[in-house]
Amino acid sequence: MDNHLAIKIVLDGFKRSLKSASKLLNELPENDLLQEIVPTKNSGHYLLGHLIAVHDNMLPLLGLRDSLYPELMEVFIKKPDKSGLLKPSIAQLKQQWEEVHQLLVTHLESLTDEQWFEKHTAVSDEDFATEPHRNRLNVVLSRSNHLSYHIGQISLLRK
C-alpha cells in the first residue's frame, strides 16, 4: 500500500467518526448529556468537553497552530468530571465542537503526504530517529480510536 492510500484511509476514518459523533451529539437532548454514562462515572457533558479539549490540543501537537480553547485542558483533561470546576454549557461546547473540528479538518486536509510522516511536537528529534512511527498520521489514528471509544460511551445515554 502506498503512503497516499494509507493517509486517505486514516483521514477518511477520522472524518467519518467525527460526522457520526456530531450526529449523535446533535440528536441527544441536553438532559441526556448531563447524565452519567454509568453511576459514579463521567457524564456525557464531561466527555463532550474532553473530546473537544483533546482534539483542540491536536492543533499544537501536530504543529499546525495554537489551540482555540486552551482553557478546556484544565477542566476536561487535567481534572476529573466531579472536580467542582465550572464547565462551559453544553450549547457552548457544541459550538466549540464545530469550530475545533472545522479548523482541524481543514488543516489536516492541507498536509502533504510527506508532512503526515513528520514527527509531532511531543517527540524529540532523538526519539523520532529511533521511533519514526511517532508521527502526525499515528496521532490522528490514535485520536480516531479515542473518539470511537468515548462516542460509544455517550451512545449509552440514548433513551
Q: Is the pLDDT of residue 70 over 90?
A: yes
In this prediction, residues 30-59 reach a mean pLDDT of 96
Domains of the chain: 3-155 (1.20.120.450)
Q: Is the pLDDT of residue 154 over 90?
A: yes
pLDDT computed for residue 106 by the predictor: 98
C-alpha cell at 25: 451529539
Judged by average pLDDT, the poorest of 1-5, 79-83, 116-120, 125-129 is 1-5
pLDDT computed for residue 1 by the predictor: 67
Long-range contacts of 141-145, Cβ-Cβ distance < 8 Å, separation of 24 or more = 141/10, 141/13, 141/14, 143/14, 143/54, 143/55, 143/58, 144/10, 144/13, 144/14, 144/17
pLDDT computed for residue 159 by the predictor: 77
What is the CA 94 to chain-centroid distance, rounded? 13
Share of the chain above pLDDT 70, in %: 99
In this prediction, residues 103-113 reach a mean pLDDT of 98
How do residues 89-102 score in pLDDT, each as one tens digit? 999 999 999 999 99
